[in-house]
């Protein structure tokens, strides 16, 4: 399942690495949108298969941050 951003954002931090096991609701990234920092929760239990962004990247709505399987 893809983790996506909902609004134009900047990636502030990635809280997990590829291969990490995550649980639903666990914070996997911090984004900044409209001068506010927001946690990005995992939508499901699984393992982080890939990370599509780096800290500092500007992303558009719907951009994939990472994939969890």
Which structural domain range is residue 11 located in?
Answer: 2-68
Secondary structure tally for the chain: helices H, strands E: 0, 8
Domain of 56: which CATH number? 2.40.50.100
Give pLDDT, residue 1: 95
pTM of the model: 0.90
- CA 36 to CA 17: how far, in whole Å? 24
Domain total of the chain: 1
Q: pLDDT digit string (tens) for 7-34?
A: 999 999 999 999 999 999 999 999 999 9
Answer for the pair 27, 51: CB distance below 8 angstroms, yes or no.
no
Answer for the pair 32, 53: CB distance below 8 angstroms, yes or no.
no
């Amino acid at each position: 399942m893809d983790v996506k951003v909902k609004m134009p954002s900047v990636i502030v931090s990635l809280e997990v690495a590829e291969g990490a096991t995550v649980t639903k609701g666990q914070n996997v990234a911090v984004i900044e949108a409209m001068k506010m920092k927001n946690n990005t929760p995992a939508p499901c239990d699984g393992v982080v298969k890939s990370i599509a962004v780096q800290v500092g990247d500007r992303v558009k709505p719907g951009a994939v941050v990472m994939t969890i399987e």
